[in-house]
Amino acid sequence: MLQADVFCRVVDNFGDIGVTWRLVRQLQREYHWSIRVWVDDLKSFQQLEARVNVHTLQQVIDHIEIIHWADPAPDLIPYPIALCNFSCDLPATYIAQLHQRPALWINLEYLSAETWVEGCHGLPSLRGDGLSSYFFFPGFHANTGGLLREGDLLTRRDSWQKNLVGQRQMLERLGVSGAALTALSTPTQAARLLTLFCYPHAPTTQLLEALCADSRASIVLIPEGIAPELTTGRLGPLKQVYIERIPFVSQPEYDQLLWMADLSFVRGEDSVVRGLWAGRPLVWQIYPQTEGTHLVKLEAWLKMSNLPADIQDLMRNWNADTVSTDLPKDFAQAVNADAYAQWSSHALALSHTLAQEVDFAQALHDFCTSKITP
C-alpha cells in the first residue's frame, strides 16, 4: 500500500482543493493509498465537502486524513511520497526531514494542452539543496498524465442522464422555482437548462442580453456568491430567463448538474475536466494569468479540441480581457438548432476520445509504483 502526503494551498477558492479532493479520493478508493491531505483553507474545502470541520487540526473523512496546514505547520514524519499540487511549497520542517528520510517528491502541475507539456512530463528536477522532485502534468495527450476520471464515471453519467425523475427531484431539492420547473417540462419547446460557474470578470451582462434575445426560455443555475450582479427571478422582455440561485453542492452533485445541463459555463481546471466528461456543450473560462498566458493555454486547448469555429469565437469572447460586443451574436449562433446539434455531437465524441487515454490517478499510481523499490 502506497502512503502519500498531499499538499494543497487554496489559491483559486475551489479549483485547487477541488482537484486535490477528487484525486485523493480516487487514489484511496481505487488504489488503496494511505493519504494525508495538507490544506491551508478549510473554509473553502468545506464548501465542497460539508463534512469538513474547520476548527479541527486533524480529521478523517472517507479514510483520508486531513491536516490543517497552518503556520507553523504540524511536525509530522513524512510519508514515502510527497505530492505538491500545483507546485506549492513544502513546509520548512518537512523539507528538513526529507534530508534524513528521502521521499518521492512529485510536483503535480497545472493542466494545459500546450505541446511542450509532453516533453516535460515525468522529468526530474534537482534542487539547490540536493533534494530532487519530478514534474507530473495532467493533459489531453498520451504522453501526459491524462485527466482525472474515476473508473465508473461514464457509466454513472449515462445512467443519470436517463433518470429524469431523479433530475427533477434534485432541482426541487436545490430550491429551483416551480415556474422554472414548469418551463423545463413544457411539451412544445422545453426551456434550456444552463449552469453558470464563472470568475468575477466574466461578461455576464452580455450573456444575459443574449439569453433575453433568445426565442427559447432559459433556466440558469448559479451557486450563491457567483455573479451577484445577476438578479434572481424571471427576466427579459418576455420574462423567459429564469435566474435560479442554488447552494454550493458536493462534487458528486456538481457532476450530476453538468450531466443534465444543456450548456454549462465552467471555470478553472476541475470544472472544465468534469464538464468534458459530461459530454455536453460547455464554455470554459480559463483561470486568468499575467501577461495573457492563460489565453495562450486557451488557444492550445481550442486547437486540440477542434471545436466548430463559431464555438471557438464564443469561447474567446467569454475569456477576452475587454468585454466584446460580439458575445450575444456568438451565443445566438452557437445555440441555433443546427449549430447546437453539431456542438452536442462534438462534445460527446470528445469525451469518448479522451476516455481512451489513461486517467490521471492511474498514471500517477503507476509512476509512483515504478519509482518506489519494494
Q: Kindly report the CATH number assigned to the domain that includes residue 310.
A: 3.40.50.2000
Mean pLDDT of the 222-240 span: 91
Q: List, edge to edge, every strand of the sheet that includes 58-61.
A: 58-61, 64-68, 34-39, 3-8, 81-85, 104-108, 132-136, 124-126
Q: What is the pLDDT of residues 128-158, one digit of tens each?
A: 888 999 999 999 988 999 999 999 999 999 9
CATH number for the domain harbouring residue 76: 3.40.50
Residue 14 has pLDDT above 80, yes or no: no
Q: Where are the beta strands (DSSP E) in the chain?
A: 3-8, 34-39, 58-61, 64-68, 81-85, 104-108, 124-126, 132-136, 192-196, 218-223, 233-235, 241-246, 263-267, 282-285
Neighbours of 235 (CB within 10 A): 18
Point out which residues pair with 233 in neighbouring strands: 243
**Residue 95 contacts by C-beta under 8 Å, 6 or more apart in sequence?**
129, 131
Lowest-pLDDT range of 11-15, 96-100, 123-127, 308-312: 11-15
Residue 190 has pLDDT above 80, yes or no: yes
Closest CA to 312 of 278, 354, 283: 283
Confidence of residue 87 (pLDDT cuts 50, 70, 90): confident
The answer to whether 9 and 37 have CB atoms below 8 angstroms apart is no
Confidence of residue 324 (pLDDT cuts 50, 70, 90): confident
Q: Which domain holds residue 174?
A: 153-354
Residue 17 has a pLDDT of: 92
**What distance in Å separates the CA atoms of residue 350 and residue 345, rounded to the nearest whole number?**
9
Residue 13 has pLDDT above 70, yes or no: no
137 and 21 in one domain? Answer: yes
Mean pLDDT of the 36-55 span: 94
Q: What is the pLDDT of residues 334-361, one digit of tens each?
A: 999 999 999 999 999 999 999 999 999 9
Q: Is the dihedral of CA 52, 4, 88, 364 positive or negative?
A: negative
Enter the pTM of the model: 0.94
Active site residue 16: yes
Looking at the chain, how many residues does it have? 374
Number of domains in the chain: 2
Q: For the chain, give the percent of residues with pLDDT over 90.
A: 85
Mean pLDDT of the 96-113 span: 94
Residue type for 344, please?
S
233 and 117 in one domain? Answer: no
Q: List, edge to edge, every strand of the sheet that includes 282-285.
A: 233-235, 241-246, 218-223, 192-196, 263-267, 282-285
104 and 85 in one domain? Answer: yes
**What distance in Å separates the CA atoms of residue 93 and residue 71, rounded to the nearest whole number?**
11
Residue 342 has a pLDDT of: 96
Q: Please confirm whether the linkage preceding 72 is cis (ω < 30° from 0).
A: yes
123 and 67 in one domain? Answer: yes
221 and 74 in one domain? Answer: no
Residue 374 has a pLDDT of: 62
The answer to whether 53 and 286 have CB atoms below 8 angstroms apart is no
CA angle 126, 17, 140 (to 5 degrees): 65
Active site residue 269: yes
**What distance in Å separates the CA atoms of residue 241 and residue 218, rounded to the nearest whole number?**
5
Mean pLDDT of the chain: 94
144 and 164 in one domain? Answer: no
- The active-site residue, picked from 5, 16, 255, 330, is 16
84 and 109 in one domain? Answer: yes
- The active-site residue, picked from 214, 255, 262, 269, is 269
Cell 486547437 -> residue: 303
106 and 126 in one domain? Answer: yes
Q: What is the pLDDT of residues 289-320, one digit of tens each?
A: 877 888 999 999 999 999 999 999 999 999 99
Residue 243 has pLDDT above 90, yes or no: yes
Between 373 and 54, whose confidence is greater?
54
241 and 145 in one domain? Answer: no
Q: What is the pLDDT of residues 162-187, one digit of tens each?
A: 999 999 999 999 999 999 999 999 88
282 and 262 in one domain? Answer: yes
338 and 367 in one domain? Answer: no
126 and 196 in one domain? Answer: no
Confidence of residue 373 (pLDDT cuts 50, 70, 90): low
